Chain A
Amino acid sequence: SQTIHQWPATLVQPVGSPLSLECTVEGTSNPNLYWYRQAAGRGLQLLFYSVGIGQISSEVPQNLSASRPQDRQFILSSKKLLLSDSGFYLCARGDRSGNTIYFGEGSWLTVV
């Protein structure tokens, strides 16, 4: 199974509030995990990826952070949200080669 669970599915948060999006995956152990953001039905921007517990690579400087406390858990956080953080956030898992990834259902974040 390549099942990926993301929650919450929809979130409306005020500017300056904290954020926590959670993702858990099923299937083989030690997967690569990714957080992407997509603006208004356009291409995907890679935010963070992780090749193992506690190992996080950041792709874009911003006020977001990611953590991987367990092998199959990936969390996206922010201490203070900005209006520009609004978007569709996608968690994904990949095989060790990284050339094929599978996406979760996505989480809509609206910052007001």
Chain B
Amino acid sequence: TQLLEQSPQFLSIQEGENLTVYCNSSSVFSSLQWYRQEPGEGPVLLVTVVTGGEVKKLKRLTFQFGDARKDSSLHITAAQPGDTGLYLCAGDHQGAQKLVFGQGTRLTINP
């Protein structure tokens, strides 16, 4: 079974602080995606990373794919209350035509 472990599972910080969420696996993935989900809604795709060592930035969010393509991180700078949500990482194996999801990180940003 190809598992993705996310850490931490829960994170509550004050507005303006920085944070990093991790997504780790013992398997190599062809690509890795990060999603954010609001309560009662479907997850929304934030980014897809496909190359080992790749770094992508989305405003205050920085995503990195590990060199060995087994892990990824999401770093948020100067967190805002609007960043609150469930962050999910998902990976795919070449030819599998399906994604494996981590269990998610529940992030709460307090004003």
Residues from chain B with Cβ under 8 Å of A88 in the complex: 40
- What is the interface residue range for chain A against chain B? 20 to 34
The listed residue with most B CB atoms (<10 A of its CB), out of A4, A45, A94, is: A94
Q: List 24 A-B contacts (CB under 8 A).
A: A34-B98, A41-B37, A41-B106, A43-B104, A44-B88, A44-B90, A45-B101, A46-B98, A46-B99, A46-B101, A49-B98, A51-B97, A98-B92, A98-B98, A98-B99, A99-B48, A99-B50, A99-B99, A100-B33, A101-B45, A103-B35, A105-B41, A106-B40, A108-B40
Report which B residues bind A (CB closer than 8 A): 6, 30-31, 33, 35, 37, 39-45, 48, 50, 86, 88, 90, 92, 96-104, 106
Nearest CB on B from A62, distance (A) = 17
> Contact at B97–A49, with CB atoms within 8 Å?
yes
Give A contacts to B, CB under 8 Å: 4, 32, 34, 36, 41-46, 49, 51, 59, 88, 90, 92, 94, 96-106, 108
